[in-house]
Amino acid sequence: MSLDASVVLVGLSGTGKSTVAEWVASRAGLPARDLDSLVEDDAGASVARLFADRGEAGFRRLELEALRRVLAGPPAVIATGGGVVTTPGARDLLSGRTVLWLRARTDTLVERLAGDGVTRPLLWSTSAGSDASAGSDLAERLEAMVTERTPLYAEVATDVVDVDGLTVDQVGDRVLELVAADASAGGRR
């Protein structure tokens, strides 16, 4: 399958956006672009370091510029950061595009993300570390993010893919099916 427009994947951390983007890109004849990696390359620092040095607002400004640039470029399969939708300008940029929301239950996300605080700074407070309550702290943070971000994901998404219990191949196949349906319907449905 070949695509002539970018496909954007949104969703919380741990839903598999980066992995699925690589999978879909390899089958669609497009490059995969990971927004967090682009921001890191531009700034010369990790996402965690950027959050520590510039705060969330500073990171979001860099993220918005990277999103603007990648969307203006050649078609790609784009894996966004989980919080990209919290920026109104990013939601504006995503409007009218093919955007798939990868969605997972909180228990699935906790299982996938436990112990990943270094690369996902909003999920862990400095005190969470590896103590026995870290899993419940993570679940609470994820639930808060679900509450905050669900309406924002719904605002930008053309379709939703529930990823619980699915393999990367299954999620990727579903993404390609939805993108093909979107294209045959003349764009954003």
Rounded CA separation 116/124 (Å) = 9
Residue reference for tokens 């719904």: 154
Residue reference for tokens 């510029």: 65
Q: What's the CATH fold of domain 7-173?
A: Rossmann fold (3.40.50)
Compute the average pLDDT of residues 87-100.
97
Percent of the chain with pLDDT over 70: 85
Rounded CA separation 103/13 (Å) = 10
Note the pLDDT tens digit of each residue in 102-146. Answer: 999 999 998 888 755 445 545 544 433 444 445 568 888 889 999
Note the pLDDT tens digit of each residue in 25-63. Answer: 999 999 999 999 999 999 999 988 998 899 989 999 999
Rounded CA separation 128/124 (Å) = 6
φ/ψ (deg, to 5) at 73: -85, -170
Label residue 185 by pLDDT band (50, 70, 90): confident
